[in-house]
Amino acid sequence: MRLILPTICALTGLLLGLALPALAADPQPYKIDHFSTGQDEMDETLRATSDLVTLRSGAPVGPYGLIARARGDIDRLKTVLESYGYYDSKPTVKIDGLGLNDPKLPDELVALPKKHDAHVQLSFELGPLYHLRKVVIEGELPPSAQTKFRLATGDPAVAGNVLAAGTRVFAALADDGYAFAKVDPPAAFQDKTEPVLDVTFHVEAGPKLNIGHIYIEGLKRVQESLVRRRLLLHSGELYRANLVEKARADLLSPSLGAFAAINVKVGKEVDDSGGVPITFQVRERTRHTFGLSAAYSTDLGGSGGINWGDRDVSGNAEQFNAAMSVTGLGGSSTNGLGYDVPLKYVLPDFGRRDQSLQFGVEAVKQELIAYDQTALKFGVTLTRKINKLWTVSAGVTATEENIDQVVAIVSTCTVAVITHSGCPASDVESLPQRQAYNYSLLALPLTASFDSTNLASPIDDPTHGMRDSISVVPTLSLGHTHAMFLITTIRAAAYFDLDRLLSTDPGRSVLAVRALIGGAGGASVDSLPPDQRFYGGGSGSIRGYPYQGVGPYFPILSVTGALIGTTTYPVGATTISAAGVEYRRRIGQKWGAAFFVDGGQVGNNLGVYPRNLFVGVGAGARYYTPIGPIRLDIGVPLKRYDSDPQAFQVYIGLGQAF
């Protein structure tokens, strides 16, 4: 009878669970009126555990399903409270003031008007907070690990703290040569008469060992000699688990780019060298890559391209990348189609680890309102990663280019005789004065970059940290002008997670700020090639204004040479200063929104000049994909040039604006 009765009850409960929801198929909306223990951290964990909270919006249920969900929450919430040391706690759930076992509750819910919220109240009787009465360690614990234990008699019996003490001890042993250390899960004993726990840890440190033989498995194309040269571990060194993990992560770094996954297997016994053998099981990345790209903005129009790459040209992780893109597909700041064809060949670990040598060739054609450019560029760059945060590079580049530019518009009179009152307006003709020049540029770019966002790709969405850089480019210009000048550009961006301020989940509310300062020293605007000057506007500086649309414009001259206005053709300048603030908010799993303010000025002197200051505001939408967010921004200028007919700018691309 003892076996049959529970079976019958279980089957009855299962049938009721299947049948009752069918009696009321309409979802029963509900609100949670009260949910607080008075302890913010514990409340946050309780909310994350509660199905009533987490499934309220995304998984609607009927009246009977709501009751079942509430009953399931009791055990879940009880487990959380016990993990915080409240072993005599009692969570209670009521719906519209009725207990879950009240026979009137189902009928009350079924009788609610359609779309009328039920009210759920959760209350907690915490009871006494348990403390640790005895903390016992069975086995010998080396002094290096004893300092990591940090658990003592009288501490609150919080499960997370107790488990963390054992984890810290195990990590300390593994990081100090004890490769075969064991720390069993703690055994806890609850006193029945007072709110205390006795906790016992069993520890076996084992022998202290060095690293034995190191094996590499899974290599197909990558040379083993490359892996061993880069490996941060060496046989005979003291075994340290944290260094083993550091070596594994280093082999996976983007600078090498050869492996998709690496698993480390630590031996269970000592080898013939007397050390612990370690095996790195690697899986190489697909050798060849292929991708498509596309972007659109109202100023630069559409662009699209393809790219192809080889991650391992000859077995030493050399990288070759080729791309081709078409630019200037429409757009208010373009005059026609252009192209960009860069080729790059990278030698990783050149001369030393974390140092690469890149060879590059690029063919560029741009037809912009500011100028038309056809150029061929050559460059060699040596890049060294100083540490996790800092990277520096130095190189030499050579550029051969032809630039055609409107330098003025001259108004002429088409009639043979000009009367005493001047030229009739109907006979005035404006003629663009264009000039085309060849330039030969030799530059020595020097760059230092700081990145604390901990992201592998610049397309990834940063939620904290900074991205800063300073570049100094001494340049010799030959051809139309013979000049030497120094281009200096400072960029800074910082990201602040507002999760604590706005009580949101980490990474869902982010404030991003950026600043840009640039200057050209040693040359005037006229002696600078047009592509070396500074222009404002566009997604890279001041959204809301067209690309290269902020700054001085070429003049309109009268028949006599007098200045009578400005053209729509940008001149460029020797300095730029700009800043932007953007608030980013995630919505659900895939979507997000952004609100921004950008401002800046372009001129021949750094400083704040209200007349030259241009500000744009706007908003945008984000759709988050595995490779990065797809961005749609709409920017509106607060001050417009008379010659600019557009009231707003649209930007679509992959990744955040900064």
Kindly indicate the confidence band of residue 251, based on its pLDDT and cuts at 50, 70 and 90.
very high
Among residues 387, 382, 410, the alpha carbon closest in space to that of 397 is found at 382
Please name each of the domains of the chain with its CATH number: 24-125 (3.10.20), 131-204 (3.10.20.310), 211-284 (3.10.20.310), 288-654 (2.40.160.50)
State the pLDDT confidence band at 244, using cuts at 50, 70 and 90. very high
pLDDT at position 265, please? 96
Non-local (6+) Cβ contacts of 652 within 8 A are 295, 296, 297, 630, 631, 632, 633
Q: Cβ(310)–Cβ(320) under 8 Å?
A: yes
Three-state SS string across 523-583, please? Answer: CCCCCCCHHHCECECCCCCCCCCCCCCECCEEEEECCCCCEEEEEEEECCECEEEEEEEEE
Name which of 366, 367, 435, 374 is nearest 404 in CA terms: 435
CB 212 within 8 A of CB 274: yes
Q: Which two tokens stand for residue 425?
A: 């307006």
Q: In this structure, what token pair is assigned to residue 641?
A: 């040039």
Helical packing angle, 63-83 and 159-174, nearest 10°: 60
pLDDT bin (cut points 50, 70, 90) of residue 114 is confident
Pairwise CA distance, residues 411 & 180, whole Å: 88
Distance CA 185, CA 206 (A): 17
- What one-letter code names the amino acid at 39? Q
Among candidate residues 653, 654, 637, the one with its CA nearest the CA of residue 645? 637
Q: Which of residues 125 and 558 earns the better pLDDT score?
A: 125
The DSSP letter of residue 611 is: G
Question: Does the structure show a pLDDT above 50 at 123?
Answer: yes
The tokens of 202 are what? 């069993």
Q: Which of 398, 409, 359 is nearest to 479 (CA)?
A: 398
Tell me the pLDDT of the chain averaged across its residues: 89
Q: Measured in whole angstroms, how far is the alpha carbon of residue 589 from the centre of its chain? A: 15
CB atoms inside a 10 Å sphere around CB 8: 9
Rounded Cα distance between 75 and 80, Å, is: 9
Q: Give which of 472, 469, 509, 477 is closest to 493, Cα–Cα.
A: 469
Cα(462)–Cα(469) distance, integer angstroms: 16
Using the predicted structure, report yes or no on whether residue 16 has a pLDDT greater than 50. Answer: no
Residue 384, helix vs strand vs coil: strand
Report yes or no: 614 and 545 within 8 Å, Cβ to Cβ: yes
**Nearest of 441, 411, 445 to residue 429 by alpha carbon:** 411
User: What value does the mean pLDDT take over residues 404-414?
Assistant: 74
98-99 vs 182-183, strand pairing mode: unpaired
pLDDT (tens digit, 9 = 90+) per residue, 183-230? 999 999 988 889 999 999 999 999 999 999 999 999 999 999 999 999
Percent of the chain with pLDDT over 90: 72
> Do 512 and 494 meet the contact criterion of CB atoms below 8 Å apart?
yes
Please check whether residue 509 is in contact with residue 497, taking contact to mean a CB–CB distance below 8 angstroms: yes
DSSP 252-275: TSTTT--EEEEEEEE-SS--TTSS
262, 280 contact by CB (below 8 A)? yes
Per-residue confidence (pLDDT) for residue 553, from 0 to 100 = 86
Q: What tens digit of pLDDT does each residue of 536-587 get?
A: 999 999 999 999 999 888 877 665 556 665 677 899 999 999 999 999 999 9
Would the pLDDT of 11 be above 50?
no
Question: Is the pLDDT confidence value at 35 over 60?
Answer: yes
DSSP string covering 585-603: EEETTTEEEEEEEEEEEEE
pLDDT tens, residue by residue, 329-346: 999 999 999 999 999 999
**In the Cβ-directed half-sphere of 414, how many Cα atoms lie within 13 Å?**
7
pLDDT 10s digits, 446-478: 999 999 999 988 889 999 999 999 999 999 999
Give the confidence band of 24 by pLDDT, cuts at 50, 70, 90.
Answer: very low
**Side chain identity at residue 657, one-letter code:** A
Give CA–CA dist 77/607, Å, rounded.
59
Among left, alpha and beta (phi > 0; psi -120 to 50; other), residue 154 is left
Confidence of residue 419 (pLDDT cuts 50, 70, 90): very low
Structure confidence at residue 564 (pLDDT): 61
Confidence of residue 594 (pLDDT cuts 50, 70, 90): very high
| Position 491 pLDDT exceeds 90 | yes
Q: How confident is the model at residue 641 (pLDDT cuts 50, 70, 90)?
A: low
| Pairing of β 628-637 and β 428-443 | unpaired
Q: Which residue has the higher pLDDT, 96 or 254?
A: 96
pLDDT over threshold 90, residue 432:
no
pLDDT tens, position by position, 275-324:
999 999 999 999 999 999 999 999 999 999 999 999 999 999 999 999 99
What pLDDT, on a 0 to 100 scale, did the predictor assign at position 563?
61
At residue 441, the 3 state secondary structure works out as strand
Q: What strands, in cross-sheet order, belong to the sheet with 30-34?
A: 30-34, 118-125, 90-95, 98-99
Helix (H, G, I), strand (E, B) or coil at 410: strand
Among the listed ranges 96-110, 251-265, 374-388, 548-562, which one has the minimum average pLDDT value?
548-562
The closest of 428, 370, 303 to 549, measured between CA atoms, is: 370
